[in-house]
A and B are shown apart, each in its own frame.
Chain A
Amino acid sequence: SQQGEEDPQALSIQEGENATMNCSYKTSINNLQWYRQNSGRGLVHLILIRSNEREKHSGRLRVTLDTSKKSSSLLITASRAADTASYFCATDLTQGGSEKLVFGKGTKLTVNP
């Protein structure tokens, strides 16, 4: 099955810096989503980007999608301590038409005050 893989596994930055996380996947997708998980909590949806879109913004978040390279990136600008969390990409599983998402293993972001 196809799966998104995030890179790096862990990232530590200072408050105010930008954070970039990458997601690579194996086969063609229709949509790609990014989720955030704070420690001890469930995942929260951040953004969905469709295969015919190249870039999407939401507040301080910028997501890009390069279908030729089968990769996506999540940029958080002017990071804050509250952005400390794990970030996951999720791709749709096109085989068999099943209504499923496949999640990567996540990038753990630490923003130091």
Chain B
Amino acid sequence: NAGVTQTPKFRVLKTGQSMTLLCAQDMNHEYMYWYRQDPGMGLRLIHYSVGEGTTAKGEVPDGYNVSRLKKQNFLLGLESAAPSQTSVYFCASSFLDPRTQPQHFGDGTRLSIL
């Protein structure tokens, strides 16, 4: 049982390049979330999904897109990377509403934009 797996773990991009971060969970969870964590800023919600085929915007959605084509996968895309998107990205999932039960986190993707 792997839990929440994020791919890749590290990546360096040049400004303007695009990439996709993959989050996979094997717990049959309905809810999936993408956060970014910056020094002194805590976790900020980018986008989330409450089930297969659904997505919704979080606190800081600009410059990112997401897709949830399969229940177990939640993809985060950067269309045209900018230095301000340098961050650590975390994916999380929960079986039901995370306000009422724990979220399970992956170990993050460390992304640097040059």
Contact = CB atoms under 8 A, between A and B. Distances in A.
Whether A and B are associated in the same complex: the answer reads yes
Interface string A38-82: 001111110010000000000000000000000000000000000
A92 B102 CA distance: 12
Given A30-B99, A92-B99, A103 B43 contact: yes
B102 A42 contact: no
A42 B106 contact: yes
Contacts of B40: 105
Q: Which of B43, B101, B108 has the most CB of A within 10 A?
A: B43
A101 interface: yes
A2 interface: no
Given A99-B31, A99-B48, A48 B101 contact: yes
A93 B31 CA distance: 16
A100 B48 contact: yes
B29 interface: no
Contacts of B41: 105
A105 B38 CA distance: 10
B97 interface: yes
Contact of A43 (B56, B59, B99, B105): B105
Contacts of A41: 107-108
B107 to A, nearest CB: 5
Contact of A103 (B42, B100, B108): B42
Interface string A1-39: 100000000000000000000000000001101000000
B108 A42 contact: yes
13 contacts: A33-B102, A40-B107, A41-B107, A42-B90, A42-B108, A43-B43, A43-B92, A43-B105, A48-B101, A88-B42, A103-B42, A105-B40, A105-B42
| Nearest 4 Cβ contacts at the A-B interface | A42-B105, A45-B102, A92-B99, A105-B42
